Structure 1
């Protein structure tokens, strides 16, 4: 039997553990796609996360069990666009450690994200997933939770 999962709005004290999980997430993605798509520096990630939390620009939620083990996390940020009718939320990261998947932890994190978005009057939540067969399970998860295709592909340019 699984122990209960607790979802909390993360604070700067959680930053070291979230940074570790960000590294796990990025290394998992790069392993799946076979491309070194991300530069990851744990100390830099932790520092950025602390800055973003302190400046109310990034909203992480963590999942922990009764023993205070970190099971996963979701991050949110606020965005603005006319096509989205104003203010909306974006999910930059959602990660559940492999040993804890299929235990509704991702679902619970997403539910907290939706509730949080409503408190900020967000019109919608958006998430980007790679349109690759390796991420079909990820896309299926979001579709089961009511997400629909918003169009386009995510592109980037380094500045």
Structure 2
């Protein structure tokens, strides 16, 4: 399957809001929060605030014809004294019908590229504390993220 990954902009807002709503619905289901409904208006407002920020990116995977497949959000953390620059891989989502086709891998590769372009030395992600995501954990391990204690997973880039 041919996949196009680009930094999202306002022209993709509707599709991105739908993907993020699907992401939150899946997280809510894993957390046994039945009946949860994401607030698409709030998601849209927050996206509009962040999409133009230079240190924040939402990278969207689509088919060549523009059908949305998934996304990853990544941002650079402000550097503290004596700390190397790093980026946070905030959210990663691929629609269920398109999983196991290397799309998430491609999204992570683009997130690494973005982080490197910001002079970051590592990529970090944190897993939820109150419920397990075994498939996500297996994916991150396969991508060579290592556990650093608690729920944090890091990858040197």
| Larger deviation, residues 45-54 vs 92-101 | 45-54
**TM-score relative to the length of structure 1:** 0.85
What does 1:16-95 correspond to in 2, within 5 Å?
Answer: 16-35=14-33, 40-82=38-80, 85-95=83-93
Looking at structure 1, the residues matched to 151 and 99 of structure 2 have their Cα atoms a distance apart, in angstroms, of 27
Are residues 84 and 147 of structure 1, via their aligned partners in 2, closer, same or farther at CA, if it must alter by over 3 Å? Answer: farther
- The residue that corresponds to 1:141 in the other structure is 139
- The residue that corresponds to 2:115 in the other structure is 117
Looking at structure 1, the residues matched to 72 and 130 of structure 2 have their Cα atoms a distance apart, in angstroms, of 22
Q: Secondary structure at the match of 1:54?
A: coil
Looking at structure 2, the residues matched to 55 and 107 of structure 1 have their Cα atoms a distance apart, in angstroms, of 24
| Uncovered stretches (5+) of structure 2, i.e. residues with no partner | 153-157
CA contact (8 A) 2:25 2:37 kept: no
Looking at structure 2, the residues matched to 53 and 45 of structure 1 have their Cα atoms a distance apart, in angstroms, of 12
CA contact (8 A) 1:117 1:125 kept: yes
Q: Secondary structure at the match of 1:139?
A: helix
Are residues 14 and 96 of structure 1, via their aligned partners in 2, closer, same or farther at CA, if it must alter by over 3 Å? Answer: same
**TM-score relative to the length of structure 2:** 0.86
Q: Secondary structure at the match of 1:122?
A: coil
Q: Secondary structure at the match of 2:78?
A: strand
Q: Secondary structure at the match of 1:80?
A: coil
Cα drift, residue 119 of structure 1: 1.0
Instruction: Compute the RMSD of aligned alpha carbons.
Output: 2.2
Looking at structure 2, the residues matched to 41 and 58 of structure 1 have their Cα atoms a distance apart, in angstroms, of 21
